[in-house]
């Protein structure tokens, strides 16, 4: 008799989050009866949509303690990171030729940050990539030493997308400003999950990248915070009609922006209580996993970690080599992820885990489990039961499938 397919479970909240129904409801009118171009302010329909866009802009700004006019809408955090890093570098290159050419970042950053920094090397800039400790944290002393030579920009993410580790952004920003460098942070994995503030004084953030789909908003919309005072100057990535104060040309996607604003408003109202609930579920998940599979370990700091992230290494307690990719292939109904790149020829361990000193074998046994707004205790129990059963009891796991 054929067994019935399992009901899907979602444990991949760091990759993306489901759009909150309240966000969908807020966007709905802008797809149909309120579909005017927000830049067409010569008529009432355009004015109404423009007002909704500005209200959403204020909502995004309020989440991080900024002003609405400091928010530049983008297609997502990848574009925001590119605009922040390349925009700051190219403005300095063209308008302040005597500025430093060093750009400092961290080995565990998102690929779009690392690639942006490396791209600028072809334009005469010097990338400086700092290491992290076994806990995934950057030692402030390492940044202090890197800043002995003048730098233009320091870019350090607030929350790591693989490990959920939270960096000490105020301390790191202060060190950057003491040496005259701009400070940028990719906060895509932090917004809506931990309190954020762009701050003031030496501990301020000059540039901050955000993404709606990481916090129960729609895909395709993000934002870059650009500080007004002291003013942070950027060169736009592409040319056009000069929208978004000349920094990001193109017609604004009003429905997505309104959804982003709604997601930020929900996060401001409910985020603190939600984080407590999610942290409890994460602790339950880890406790049950360790009970079912003694030897499970956590990658990165457990204390300095966002509530919904659990990056774990499964035990090497069997004679045959097993990988997290094989575990995922055996449980296709359980959405989860790993930093490994699976191909028919090899499994390449996560560069983030390797930068933390995790061995290739342990990295290959590591899995990222994301918990979020719609996860229940019953979901956690069912996921642990399935993971433990397959890892411990199955006579063999399927081979790693070809990457596509």
Run of H or E residues at 74: strand 71-74
C-alpha span between 38 and 53 (Å, rounded): 7
Same domain, 278 and 375: yes
Q: Is 233 exposed, middle or buried (0-12, 13-18, 19+ CB in 10 A)?
A: middle
Same domain, 275 and 250: no
Q: Which tokens go with 31?
A: 């797809």
Tens digit of pLDDT at every position of the chain (404 positions): 445 568 999 999 999 999 999 999 999 999 999 999 999 999 999 999 999 999 999 999 999 999 999 999 999 999 999 999 999 999 999 999 999 999 999 999 999 999 999 999 999 999 999 999 999 999 999 999 999 999 999 999 999 999 999 999 999 999 999 999 999 999 999 999 999 999 999 999 999 999 999 999 999 999 999 999 999 999 999 999 999 999 999 999 999 999 999 999 999 999 999 999 999 999 999 999 999 999 999 999 999 999 999 999 999 877 567 899 999 999 999 999 986 333 333 457 899 999 999 999 999 999 999 999 999 999 999 999 999 999 987 656 665 544 33
Kindly report the backbone phi and psi dihedral angles of residue 182, in degrees, each rounded to the nearest multiple of 5, phi listed first.
-75, 155
Q: Which tokens go with 184?
A: 């940028």
Same domain, 39 and 142: yes
Number of Cβ within a 10 Å radius of residue 123: 11
Assess if residue 213 is contained within a domain.
yes
Pairing between β-strand 222-226 and β-strand 153-155 as defined by DSSP bridges: unpaired
Print the domain residue range for 238: 21-265
Same domain, 53 and 117: yes
DSSP 297-313: EESS-SSSB-TTEEEEE
Same domain, 56 and 139: yes
CB 147 within 8 A of CB 202: no
- CA R_g for the chain: 22
pLDDT at position 349 is 81
Assess if residue 4 is contained within a domain.
no
C-alpha span between 338 and 336 (Å, rounded): 7
Assess if residue 397 is contained within a domain.
no
Taking each helix axis from N to C end, the angle separating 77-95 and 111-121, rounded to the nearest 10 degrees, works out to 20
Same domain, 176 and 309: no
DSSP 7-26: PPEE--TTT--PPPHHHHHH
**Bridge partners (DSSP) listed for residue 155:** 184
C-alpha span between 285 and 386 (Å, rounded): 12
- For the chain, what is the domain count? 2
pLDDT at position 294 is 95
In the listed set 237, 265, 293, which residue is the last one of a domain according to the structure? 265
In the listed set 265, 300, 318, which residue is the last one of a domain according to the structure? 265
Q: Is 276 exposed, middle or buried (0-12, 13-18, 19+ CB in 10 A)?
A: exposed
CB 370 within 8 A of CB 11: yes
Same domain, 151 and 75: yes
Closest CA to 315 of 367, 351, 279: 367
- Tell me, yes or no, if the pTM score tops 0.85: yes
pLDDT at position 322 is 84
Same domain, 380 and 254: no
Q: Which tokens go with 284?
A: 């339950």
CATH of residue 356:
3.90.1150.10
pLDDT at position 212 is 98
Same domain, 257 and 281: no
Same domain, 224 and 339: no
Angular region, 139: left φ>0, alpha ψ -120 to 50, beta rest? beta
Same domain, 112 and 30: yes
- How far from the centroid of its chain's Cα atoms is residue 86's Cα? 19
Catalytic (active site) residue 112 = no
Taking each helix axis from N to C end, the angle separating 377-393 and 254-292, rounded to the nearest 10 degrees, works out to 50
CB 168 within 8 A of CB 137: yes
CATH of residue 60:
3.40.640.10
User: How does DSSP classify residue 319?
Assistant: S
In the listed set 250, 265, 280, which residue is the last one of a domain according to the structure? 265
Selecting among 19, 112, 264, 342, the annotated active-site residue is 342
Same domain, 65 and 136: yes
């Amino acid at each position: 008799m054929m067994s019935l397919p399992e009901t899907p479970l979602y444990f991949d909240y760091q990759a993306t989050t489901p759009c909150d129904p309240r966000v969908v409801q807020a966007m709905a009118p802008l797809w149909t009866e309120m579909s005017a171009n927000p830049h067409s302010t010569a008529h009432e329909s355009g004015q109404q949509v423009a007002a909704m866009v500005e209200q959403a802009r204020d909502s995004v700004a309020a989440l991080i303690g900024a002003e609405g006019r400091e928010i530049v809408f983008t297609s997502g955090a990848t574009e925001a990171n590119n605009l922040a890093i390349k925009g700051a570098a190219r403005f300095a290159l063209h308008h302040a030729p005597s500025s430093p050419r060093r750009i400092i970042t961290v080995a565990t950053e998102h690929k779009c940050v690392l690639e942006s920094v490396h791209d600028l090397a072809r334009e005469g800039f010097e990338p400086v990539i700092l290491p992290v400790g076994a806990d995934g944290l950057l030692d402030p002393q390492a940044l202090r030493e890197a800043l002995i030579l003048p730098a233009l920009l320091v870019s350090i993410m607030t929350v790591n997308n693989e490990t959920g580790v939270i960096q000490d952004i105020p301390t790191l920003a202060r060190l950057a400003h003491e040496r005259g460098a701009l400070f940028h942070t990719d906060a895509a994995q932090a917004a809506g999950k931990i309190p954020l503030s762009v701050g003031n004084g030496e501990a301020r953030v000059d540039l901050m990248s955000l993404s709606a789909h990481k916090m129960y908003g729609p895909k395709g919309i993000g934002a870059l915070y650009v500080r007004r005072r002291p003013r942070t100057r950027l060169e736009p990535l592409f040319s056009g009609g000069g929208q978004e104060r000349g920094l990001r040309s193109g017609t604004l996607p009003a429905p997505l922006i309104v959804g982003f604003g709604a997601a930020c408003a929900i996060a401001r109202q409910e985020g603190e209580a939600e984080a407590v609930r999610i942290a409890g579920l994460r602790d339950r998940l880890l406790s049950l996993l360790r009970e079912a599979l003694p030897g499970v370990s956590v990658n990165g700091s457990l204390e300095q970690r966002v509530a919904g992230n659990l990056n774990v290494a499964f035990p090497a307690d069997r004679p045959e080599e097993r990988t997290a990719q094989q575990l995922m292939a055996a449980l296709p109904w359980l959405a989860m992820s790993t930093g490994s790149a699976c191909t028919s020829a090899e499994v390449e361990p996560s560069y983030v885990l390797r930068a933390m000193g995790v061995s290739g074998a342990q990295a290959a046994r590591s899995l990222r489990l994301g918990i979020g707004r719609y996860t229940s205790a019953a979901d956690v129990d069912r996921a642990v039961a399935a993971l433990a059963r397959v890892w411990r009891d199955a006579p063999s796991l399927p081979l790693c499938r070809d990457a596509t």
